[in-house]
Chain A
C-alpha cells in the first residue's frame, strides 16, 4: 500500500483551466503538506495542515486553494492555470508538525504541464 498517494500523476491542461490534485495518506499522520518543485528541483512549501487546520500558508496566489475534508486527505485546487504553474506538486505528511523530529513522507508527485 502506498503511504501517501496523489492523483493524477500526470496532468496536461490549457491556460485558464481549473484543475484539482487529490491526496490521501494512510499513515495516520496529523500533518499534511503541499510542496511545489520547479525545474531546478527547488522544493517550496505551499501549505500545511495540522488536523484539518491550516497552519502554513506561504506566499501563494489565491488561485491555489487547499481543502482538507479530514486529516487523511488534502486536496489542491488551482483556478485559472498559468504557464508558470507548470511544476511537480508533491503532497506529503508527517506524524506531527515538523520541528519536533518528525520525518516527512512524500507522495510520488503530480506532474502538471500548462500549455
Chain B
C-alpha cells in the first residue's frame, strides 16, 4: 500500500546552520504538500508541489519535487529559532480513487541559539 517515508525523524542544529528533510514514496504521487507544526500547535500548510522536478522557494525555505514524482525535500538555509517545529510531508497517491493524503512521520527540528 501507499507509504510516505520521511527522514530524519529528529534534527538538532545550531542557529545559522542549514537543515534538510526528505520524503520518499513507494508510488508515484499526484502532488506533495508540506506542513509545519510548532510545538504545542497544529499542522499548518506551507506549500504544494504538483509538477515533476518542481522547485519552489519561500524566503529561506526551498521545496523540491523529484522528476519521478516519488520524492521531495525541504531545505532551510541559515536556520533561525523560529524554524523550530515538526515538518511533515504529505503525498497524494496518483492512483487512489479516494485521493487521500498520506503523511510522513515528520521531522522534528530543534534549533540551538
Chain A residues with a Cβ under 8 A of chain B:
40-43, 45, 48, 55-56, 90, 97-101, 103-109
Contact = CB atoms under 8 A, between A and B. Distances in A.
Q: Which of B45, B93, B98, B101 has the most CB of A within 10 A?
A: B101
A45 B100 contact: yes
Interface of B: 30-31, 33, 35, 37, 41-45, 48, 50, 86, 88, 90, 92-93, 96, 98-101, 103, 105-106, 108
Given A43-B88, A98-B99, A103 B45 contact: yes
User: Secondary structure at chain B's binding surface: helix, strand, loop or mixed?
Assistant: strand
B108 A97 contact: no
Contacts of B96: 99
Contacts of A101: 30-31, 48, 50, 92
Contacts of B103: 43, 45
Contacts of A42: 105-106
Contact of A98 (B42, B88, B100, B106): B100
A106 B101 contact: no
B19 to A, nearest CB: 16
A27 to B, nearest CB: 13
Contacts of A99: 30-31, 92-93, 96, 98-101
Contact of A97 (B35, B48, B90, B99): B99
B108 A109 contact: no
B90 to A, nearest CB: 7
Contacts of A109: 42
Nearest to B30: A99
Contact of A56 (B31, B41, B92, B98): B98
A98 to B, nearest CB: 4
A44 B31 CA distance: 19
A28 B62 CA distance: 31
B82 to A, nearest CB: 19
Contacts of B100: 45, 48, 56, 97-99
